[in-house]
Structure 1
Amino acid sequence: PPEAMENAPASLHSLDVKSRDMRGQKYVLQVAPEDCTGCNLCVEVCPAKDRQNPEIKAINMMSRLEHVEEEKINYDFFLNLPEIDRSKLERIDIRTSQLITPLFEYSGACSGCGETPYIKLLTQLYGDRMLIANATGCSSIYGGNLPSTPYTTDANGRGPAWANSLFEDNAEFGLGFRLTVDQHRVRVLRLLDQFADKIPAELLTALKSDATPEVRREQVAALRQQLNDVAEAHELLRDADALVEKSIWLIGGDGWAYDIGFGGLDHVLSLTENVNILVLDTQCYSNTGGQASKATPLGAVTKFGEHGKRKARKDLGVSMMMYGHVYVAQISLGAQL
């Protein structure tokens, strides 16, 4: 909102939002001065150019030494700007999703990594209720480069829960997340029934009905308020958040999904359990230097496969679609550039 910009540093630039559903709001694009890797990709793909001098874009590379102190001040102010309330967005699409605070930031991935934007987007969509089973590979290295981690929390302290498994059992590991979450929910619903006489009928019915995560959290808060003075209900109050539906994600590269962990992946997808799988398909073993995988296309040359791939690429998507209940989508953020 404009009032949040009243005490902004003079060097912090903002624009009026042009979309009709956000009239009167301000838009700020701020780079983290001490975390930018200088890969230059944002400048390369920026479509906005100066008509008089096409070499000048809406965002340009500048000397770090000349701007870093000023941008530190801008960034500190930027971090304290209020986050957008996603419940007030008319819809979540490619534009509005980028207004939601990502819960994946400043990873240790290689400069210009093509994998991290997908994970960042996932956390913007589901991060406050997300459980991630991460296969070994690039995403497990920059995702859990201890003692630091790029996964963070929102203003309410909610964020992704992340764990790393082996190449060969990550799908089964993630399936365990789903089964565990389901069992927790069944147990909490059983506890709800035990205290049905102390819960308003309308609230009890609502807690057992479908609801968005935001609405469910409000219902859980109402439940805690209702049973706050009931000593016997401490277990229910402690675990009531299990009623908020979790988003389970199994994440890994093509070395996991196409090769080493394929058996587990195939088994998990055959079970019709409610899990999501993100395959970060770089068409080779990126983490170990560039060996060919079954995702490598026919004839493709990799760093450690210079003779060229002699077999066709496995069509993982079609294989999984044969089950009939598996939805498959293939995306590439750079495909239309």
Structure 2
Amino acid sequence: MASFTEQFIDVDLFAREVVKRYGDGSADACLAADRAMALSRVPPATGMHRDFSTIAPDLPLLHAEKCVGCMECVTVCPDTAILAKVVPASTHAQLLKQLEGREHGAYVARQFAKTTKYFDVPARKGHEGGMFYLAVDPTKCKGCGECVQACGSHEALSMTPKTEAVLDGHRAAAKLLRELPDTPRAYIQDKVLADMMLAEATHLYCGGAASCMGCGEATAIRMMLAATAFVHGEHAVGIVAATGCNTVFGSTYPYNPYRVPWTNSLFENAPAVAMGVRAMWDRAGLRDKRLWVLGGDGAMLDIGFQSLSRMLMSGMDIKVLVLDTQVYSNTGGQASTSTFTAQDSKMSAYGRAQHGKSERRKELAPIVMMHPDVYVAQTTVAHVNHFYRAVISANAYPGPAVVIVYAPCMPEHGIGDDAGFGQSKLAVDARAFPLLVYDPRAGESVKERLSLQGNPARKDDWYVTPKGETIDFVTFARSEGRFARHFDAGGNPSPELLKARDDRLKNWRLLQELAGLR
């Protein structure tokens, strides 16, 4: 007879019998040890039953009159805590009448925004306008405030203290979001890639993970899964993960934030495991099913590079998402070959004899480009269209593909919990992490295949703002704690930091040369 845990198919049942026991601390006394539990088998999306509402003192608050429906807040949220749908105007009118008799109905009604994007534009084309509905789930929100930063100049979001009234209102708004039908396809614009998350089927990362507030890795994973599901379907993807932060925050038993099948392997051999999965799927006739490998810069640039290289040489249809934090975040911020020159990190600490890491940063993208017939992209979550296009193209590429994404790590980079979006953008502007796409289908030469589109001032050394400020690596370093000791009392950079700036410029000039821009 199957064990108690092995019988679980219904996530709600698992939540009542297992998740609840872990929540109230009675699991050790109430749950028998069995084979399935020993293997930490977890049903999909159990993370939806996790409650983070007691973690932070503040929650995002919507100012609907300022909202333009850009979807950037929904896109960058690491915890799937802020979601949106569009409802036809006629449906909205009916909902308002229903909300009049509901508790917290007035609060919920204020989450609807009339935007040009979803109401006026369809109306001008002779279609029914839609009302944009945005809700924050307080059980998933950790209060990082990154959505507020992403909203930027629109100022449609602000942080507000958690009171019982605010929590009750947010809970009611989140409940209505789950009750509403899916966004009609007519309101999802294919050319506006951020709109993909309006479709429920793209929410393959449901939240409830144990990631840090504002985690850059979680946002990247959410976006990759959303883009894959939107094009290929919600049941057409699986994950093999290398040991790292993503496997820790993604598998804190009994909480699973994924709606897709996934497994994690040893730190250094996830690509090799993926080769076995791909071979099995192909043999079973599942050639169209997308397979993604997740791993940090340590797993892909350091100890696991040989496994990655072997996978790339196999020519197998496997996709890789490299979560580049520039440190071994999972083991306390140790230096990796991806660490920037002069960066203060464990094993390369700033001290009396050595001022941070002395080696140059290893660049994975050019190395991968030298493998035959491999699609490569380097991107960030702050460049939403670039990121989504990279994932969509990687999925469509008939062979191995590697997408390297800048993944801010708040504690190790020394930045605020809300800074992931802004620092990702600054990393590109400062040439710390240039955007690139290398597509073997684009031509025979490297010049034809490599595109640096998306970087500011592509033909120049450094980007200069309209106000005349030069944005270089020192500008970037000045904004992060990991470089703080390289500035004296007057704010002047150290010789080591100037060396790091030279390294970033050399890398940028190499990419310019390869792309035919020099």
Partner of 1:251: helix, strand, or coil? strand
Whether the 8 Å CA contact 2:313–2:372 is kept in 1: the answer is no
- Consecutive unaligned residues of structure 2, counting only runs of 5 or more, are 1-86, 100-104, 351-355, 383-420, 427-518
Question: Which residue of the partner structure matches residue 320 of structure 2?
Answer: 277
Shift of 1:48: 3.3
Whichever structure has more strand as a proportion of its residues is: 2
What's 1:316 paired with?
364
Deviation at 1:84, TM superposition (A): 3.0
165, 179, 186: which one aligns with 2:279? 179
CA distances 1:226-246 after superposition (whole Å, capped 9, x unpaired): xxxxxxxxxxxxxxxx47x21
Equivalent of residue 254 in structure 1, options 273, 294, 297? 297
Correspondence 1:62 to 2:160: yes
- 1:96 aligns to 2:201 (yes or no): no
Q: In the alignment, what sits opposite 1:331?
A: 379
The answer to whether structure 1 residue 167 and structure 2 residue 256 are counterparts is: no
Q: Residues 304 and 23 from structure 1, CA distance in 2 versus in 1: closer, same or farther, beyond 3 angstroms?
A: farther
> 2:182 is aligned with what amino acid?
E
Q: Counterparts of 2:150 and 2:188 in 1: how far apart (Å)?
A: 27
The two structures, once aligned, show a CA RMSD in angstroms of 2.1
Shift of 1:94: 2.7
CA-to-partner distance for each residue in 1:237-277, whole Å, 9 max, x for gaps?
xxxxx47x211100010110011111100000111111110
What is the aligned partner in structure 2 of residue 117 from structure 1?
219
Instruction: State whether structure 2 residue 126 is matched by structure 1 residue 24.
Output: no
1:137 is the counterpart of 2:238: no
Contact 1:4-1:81 within 8 A present in 2 as well: no
Residue identity in the other structure for 1:59? L
Give the TM-score normalised by structure 1: 0.73
Which residue in 1 is equivalent to 2:140? 35
AA at the equivalent of 2:337: K
Q: Identify the residue that residue 238 of structure 1 maps to in structure 2.
A: none
CA contact (8 A) 1:131 1:177 kept: no
Q: State the shift of 1:304 in Å.
A: 4.7
* Secondary structure of 1:331's aligned partner: strand
Identity %: 32
Q: Is the 8 A contact 1:289 1:304 kept in 2?
A: no
Corresponding letter in the other structure for 1:164: N
Check if 1:71 corresponds to 2:164.
no
Say whether the 8 Å CA contact 1:17–1:24 is kept in structure 2. no
Alignment size in residue pairs: 266
Residue correspondence of structure 1 range 166-315 to structure 2 within 5 A? 166-185=266-285, 242=286, 245-307=288-350, 308-315=356-363
Tell me which residue corresponds to 1:11. 107
Give the TM-score of the pair, scaled to structure 2: 0.49
Per mean C-alpha deviation after superposition, the further-off stretch among 309-318 and 298-307 is 298-307
Question: What's the secondary structure of 1:310's corresponding residue?
Answer: coil
The 3-state SS of whatever aligns with 2:116 is coil
Whether contact under 8 Å (2:188, 2:198) holds in the other structure is: no
User: Structure 1 residues 29, 145: CA separation in 2 closer, same or farther (over 3 Å shift)?
Assistant: same
Question: What is the alpha-carbon distance in structure 1 between the residues aligned to residue 192 and residue 279 of structure 2?
Answer: 30
- Write the distance in 1 (CA, Å) between the matches of 2:425 and 2:326: 19
Indicate how the Cα distance of structure 1 residues 123 and 89 shifts in structure 2: closer, same or farther if over 3 A, else same: same
Q: Partners in 2 of 1:86 and 1:295 — Cα distance?
A: 41
> Structure 1: any 5+ residue segments left out of the alignment?
50-56, 153-159, 186-241
Cα deviations across residues 158-209 of structure 1 (Å, max 9, x unaligned)?
xx21111111210111111211111000xxxxxxxxxxxxxxxxxxxxxxxx
Task: Give the CA deviation at 1:45.
Answer: 3.1
- 2:238, 2:290 within 8 Å by CA — same for their partners in 1? yes
Partner amino acid for 1:318? Answer: P
User: How many angstroms apart in 2 are the aligned matches of 1:174 and 1:324?
Assistant: 19
Q: Could you tell me whether the CA contact under 8 Å between 1:281 and 1:295 is conserved in 2?
A: yes
